[in-house]
Amino acid sequence: MVEVKVQSLGLDRQSNTPVVILQEKAGARVLPIWIGPGEASAIAMELAGMKYARPLTHDLLASVIVGMGGVLQRVMITKVIDNTYFAELIVQRGSEVISVDARPSDSIAIALRMAASIYTTEDLLETTSVEIADASETSFVAEAESGRAHDPAGGLTPEQLRDYIRRMNPEDLGRFNP
């Protein structure tokens, strides 16, 4: 497992879709995950230290985990199938360890609230990650609904799409404002 951190949160300028960029803590590879606007707002609010008087959904789930005597040990972004990313919340409650299936965007929002580490697999980083490219080389098109990538040309092969993503630069993304 490779530990990653939220490197940035941006807005894909062509599709107006939020993108969370995860960067490996001990390296330069980044993993872009396209997410919904609600989850992007939840991540942005936590990164900015914004709190509401009443708990929002991700705050509520964090409170439920703690209230039931659990600790969020880590979040694991485990795989991608048909351009949809999958994640697990790893919760420890006493001697019991519970794995809860979740979307990466929700998992990241909860991990930030609970100061839990975020991990992904080496295999996932090798097959879907990108290294930051020169801004002059890239333009960026994506769509997000639970991490789904969008093929704007209507016919890119997986290798062509992978190459396209490798050339992207997080600076090409607009800043996401909740």
- Topology classification of domain 2-175: Bifunctional nuclease domain (3.10.690)
Burial grade of 38 (CB within 10 A; 0-12, 13-18, 19 or more): middle
d(CA 170, CA 175): 10
d(CA 141, CA 119): 26
**pLDDT over 90 at 3, yes or no:** yes
Looking up tokens 């295999």, which residue turns up? 123
pLDDT band at 166 (very low <50, low <70, confident <90, very high): low
Helix segments in 31-175, DSSP class H: 37-47, 57-67, 104-114, 122-128, 158-166
| Structure confidence by residue, pLDDT tens digits, 108-151 | 999 999 999 999 998 888 876 555 443 333 333 333 223 333 33
Rounded average pLDDT over 27-55: 90
Is 175 in contact with 44 (CB distance < 8 Å)? no
Amino acid 93: pLDDT: 97
String of DSSP letters for 1-42: -EEEEEEEEEEETTTTEEEEEEEETTSSEEEEEE--HHHHHH
**Pairwise pLDDT comparison (152 vs 65), residue with the higher score:** 65
Domain range summary for the chain, segments of one domain joined by +? 2-175
**pLDDT over 50 at 35, yes or no:** yes
| Structure confidence by residue, pLDDT tens digits, 54-111 | 999 999 999 999 999 999 999 999 999 888 999 999 999 999 999 999 999 999 999 9
Amino acid 137: pLDDT: 34
